[in-house]
């Protein structure tokens, strides 16, 4: 094994962080210093943006107790009082959109000249370059619309600036991450994409159902998915070979992850099987929600928040205890290493690059795959080529590897000029066209949301020659159309993730699992109630 080559992965890790949007730790939209939950809460949004998010401060608690790891079968985990997932009602009853802003998609026909629109996004590094490329291609392909890209620095910065701006200061099109979905709806500043779809007679059947489902609620699609991702397993094939493991067979379940980590450690090929973290956008928040879906369980009540605003989190019940117990035991038994908050998003990759005590695997977003491969292909990492890095689906409680939609969607901002609204819609349809999705997926590592894109160049050749790019796509395509895999729809979503992340950090440091999760759930439930009071 060429362990000496690993420190150069620091370069790849740093670029990966930049590629995946904001590298900051958690903040709440419009707030720099969250207050205690017992304090009075001010609305997040200003002017005519009405969606308000309550404040919170994470709690730590307790002593450690033992537990059992989640089941490895494809059956639903016994969740006690938990609400299990169900298939959404697909009855073709069209919901009235009369109360929402209209989307006159033919308004461009009456424009006197090119309509200029601004588009706020949070892409950086290679992903920003890819977005610039497809936007320039759009601007050059027609003479009716001119799109001006405005990079706000990251997802959090987009959210902050949007809700702190008045109507005149907002863009015409905005990119919000998946955790900003409910807040976007409640802000009453968005034209539902559903209105555009109906006005134009656009066939959304060409888009992956799970991507549509993620940004729809109560029969209304609000955002148009674009840069879709999910978590994947990155692993060092050289270490797998040194440990006597098949580098073409990464772990698919928690049980396999533990067994392979044990073999890696016992063989001396690496000090740890996997590097974990407690960041809200990964191990402490987003991944936990993914594992709930993989277990077939809801993360919050009211149909994962998609039938009504949620009133109660479910992560303190049986499934949550089992998932966290598995993670805690991996760390306690020396099979995994916790790199902490990982605020910059690179510490888990840096642990793979630790010459003294490396980890063989880590979990990260599929959106960073293109950057990692590009960096390795540039020769910056001596002795380690792109072919030495393996990619697998996210190991989880179930034998079936599934995922919920991550990344972001684009939203049409409501305004007084119908030509601008129509122009934003025109650009949206371009971004999700098979040709653009094919190019976008190859340049970034985001997965295509239109199935036809995988049949077109350059993606067809990339998928044929490099199956790693297809892992996230297959993982999402294999996911069932149920409320668990729609993902939780939560107003104070990031603040709830703050609570799970703080709880997991405390548990890694020896806190009791059940009481710590219960305390985090109590704080989260208070946040949900406050959000309902402000927005319900």
Q: Tens digit of pLDDT for each residue in 136-181?
A: 999 999 999 999 999 999 999 999 999 999 999 999 999 999 999 9
Beta carbons of 535 and 305 less than 8 angstroms apart: no
Alpha helices, DSSP H only, in 254-317? 254-267, 286-294, 301-304
Q: Residue 444's pLDDT is what?
A: 87
pLDDT tier, 125 (very low <50, low <70, confident <90, very high otherwise): confident
Q: In the predicted model, is pLDDT for residue 98 greater than 60?
A: yes
Question: In Å, how far from its chain's centre is CA 511?
Answer: 28
Q: How many residues does the chain have?
A: 536
Cα–Cα distance list, 395 to 102, 276, 290 (Å) = 43, 13, 10
User: 174: which strand partners?
Assistant: 120, 411
| 302 φ/ψ sector (left φ>0, alpha ψ -120 to 50, else beta) | left
Which of 362-371, 409-418, 494-503 has the least mean pLDDT?
A: 362-371
Q: Residue 384's pLDDT is what?
A: 66
pLDDT mean across residues, the chain = 86
CATH topology identical between 3-29+52-86+231-400+487-535 and 107-229+404-485 = yes
- Residue 89 contacts by C-beta under 8 Å, 6 or more apart in sequence? none
CA distance 209 to 203: 12
CA distance 97 to 16: 41
Q: Residue 181's pLDDT is what?
A: 98
Average pLDDT of the segment spanning 314-340: 99
Peptide bond into 47 cis (omega under 30): no
Beta carbons of 223 and 411 less than 8 angstroms apart: yes
CA distance 36 to 283: 24
Domain residue limits, the chain: 3-29+52-86+231-400+487-535, 107-229+404-485
Q: In the predicted model, is pLDDT for residue 9 greater than 80?
A: no
Q: Please provide the CATH number assigned to the domain covering 3-29+52-86+231-400+487-535.
A: 3.40.190.10
Number of H-type helices and E-type strands within the chain: 20, 13
Give the per-residue SS3 of 441-486: HHHHCCECCEHHHHHCCCHHHHHHHCHHHHHHHHHHHCCCCCHHHH
Q: In the predicted model, is pLDDT for residue 54 greater than 60?
A: no
Q: Which of 248, 242, 300, 294 is nearest to 273 (CA)?
A: 242
User: 229: which strand partners?
Assistant: 406
Beta carbons of 233 and 138 less than 8 angstroms apart: no
pLDDT tier, 85 (very low <50, low <70, confident <90, very high otherwise): low
Beta carbons of 386 and 234 less than 8 angstroms apart: no
Average pLDDT of the segment spanning 325-339: 99
Q: In the predicted model, is pLDDT for residue 532 greater than 60?
A: yes
Alpha helices, DSSP H only, in 271-378? 286-294, 301-304, 318-332, 347-352, 369-377
Tens-digit pLDDT profile for residues 198-244: 999 999 999 999 999 999 999 999 999 999 999 999 999 999 999 99
pLDDT exceeding 70 applies to what percent of the chain?
82
119: DSSP letter: E
- CATH 3.40.190.10 corresponds to the domain 107-229+404-485: yes
pLDDT tier, 276 (very low <50, low <70, confident <90, very high otherwise): very high
285: DSSP letter: T
CA distance 451 to 454: 6
Integer Rg of the chain from CA: 22
pLDDT tier, 393 (very low <50, low <70, confident <90, very high otherwise): very high
Give the per-residue SS3 of 15-74: HHHHHCCCCCCCCECCECCCCCCCCCCCCCCCCCCCCCCCCCCCCCCCCCCCCCCCCCCC
Average pLDDT of the segment spanning 116-129: 95
Q: Which of 362, 357, 330 is nearest to 346 (CA)?
A: 362
| 77 φ/ψ sector (left φ>0, alpha ψ -120 to 50, else beta) | beta
Contacts 24+ apart (CB under 8 A), 96-99: 97/192, 97/194, 97/195, 97/198, 97/220
Q: In the predicted model, is pLDDT for residue 38 greater than 50?
A: no
CA angle 151, 156, 160 (to 5 degrees): 90
Contacts 24+ apart (CB under 8 A), 449-457: 449/207, 449/208, 449/211, 449/225, 449/226, 449/228, 450/206, 450/207, 450/208, 451/206, 451/208, 452/206
Kindly tell me the sign of the dihedral angle through the C-alpha atoms of 179, 127, 501, 50. negative
CA distance 6 to 349: 10
Q: Residue 364's pLDDT is what?
A: 93
Q: Residue 82's pLDDT is what?
A: 52
Q: How many CB atoms lie within 10 A of CB 234?
A: 27
CA distance 440 to 435: 9
pLDDT exceeding 90 applies to what percent of the chain?
74
pLDDT tier, 59 (very low <50, low <70, confident <90, very high otherwise): very low
């Amino acid at each position: 094994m060429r362990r000496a080559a690993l420190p150069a992965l620091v370069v790849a890790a740093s670029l990966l962080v930049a590629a995946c949007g904001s590298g900051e730790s958690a903040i709440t939209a419009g707030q720099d210093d969250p207050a205690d939950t017992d304090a009075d809460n001010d609305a997040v949004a200003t002017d005519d943006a009405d969606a308000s998010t309550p404040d919170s401060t994470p709690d730590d608690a307790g002593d450690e107790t033992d537990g059992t790891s989640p089941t490895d079968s494809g059956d639903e985990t016994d969740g006690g009082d938990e609400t299990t997932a169900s298939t959404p009602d697909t009855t073709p009853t069209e919901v009235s959109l009369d109360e929402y802003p209209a989307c006159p998609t033919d308004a461009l026909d009456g424009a006197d000249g090119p309509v200029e629109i601004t588009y706020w996004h949070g892409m950086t590094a290679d992903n920003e370059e890819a977005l610039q490329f497809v936007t320039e291609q759009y601007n050059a392909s027609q003479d009716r619309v001119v799109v001006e890209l405005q990079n706000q620095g990251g997802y959090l910065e987009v959210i902050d600036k949007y809700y702190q701006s008045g109507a005149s200061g907002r863009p015409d099109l905005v990119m919000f991450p998946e955790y900003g979905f409910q807040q976007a709806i409640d802000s009453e500043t968005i034209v539902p994409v559903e209105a555009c779809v109906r006005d134009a007679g656009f066939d959304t059947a060409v888009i992956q159902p799970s991507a549509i489902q993620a940004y729809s609620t109560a029969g209304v699609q609000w955002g148009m998915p674009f840069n879709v991702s999910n978590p994947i397993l990155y692993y060092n094939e050289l270490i797998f070979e040194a440990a006597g493991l098949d580098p073409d067979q990464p772990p698919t379940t928690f049980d396999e992850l533990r067994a392979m980590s044990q073999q890696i450690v016992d063989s001396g090929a690496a000090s740890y099987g996997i590097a974990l973290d407690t960041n809200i956008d990964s191990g402490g928040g987003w991944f936990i929600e993914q594992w709930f879906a993989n277990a077939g369980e809801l993360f919050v009540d009211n149909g994962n928040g998609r039938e009504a605003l949620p009133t109660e989190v479910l992560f303190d019940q049986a499934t949550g205890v089992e998932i966290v117990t598995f993670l805690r035991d991996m760390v306690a038994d020396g099979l995994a290493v916790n790199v902490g908050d990982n605020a910059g998003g690179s510490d888990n990759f840096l642990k793979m690059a630790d010459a003294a005590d490396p980890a063989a695997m880590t979990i990260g977003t599929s959106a960073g795959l293109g950057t990692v491969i590009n960096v390795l292909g540039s020769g910056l990492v001596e002795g380690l080529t792109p072919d030495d890095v393996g990619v697998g689906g996210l190991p989880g409680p179930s034998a079936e590897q599934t995922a919920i939609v991550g990344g972001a969607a684009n939203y049409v901002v409501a305004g007084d000029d119908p030509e601008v609204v129509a122009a934003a819609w025109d650009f949206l349809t371009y971004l999700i066209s098979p040709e653009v999705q094919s190019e976008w997926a190859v340049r970034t590592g985001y997965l295509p949301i239109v199935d036809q894109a995988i049949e077109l160049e350059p993606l067809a050749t990339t998928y044929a020659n490099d199956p790693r790019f297809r892992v996230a796509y297959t993982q999402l395509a294999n996911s069932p159309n149920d409320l668990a895999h729609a993902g939780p729809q939560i107003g104070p979503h990031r603040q709830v993730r703050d609570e799970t992340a703080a709880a997991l950090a405390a548990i890694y440091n020896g806190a009791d699992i059940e009481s710590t999760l219960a305390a985090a759930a109590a704080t989260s439930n208070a946040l949900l109630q406050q959000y309902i009071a402000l927005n319900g």
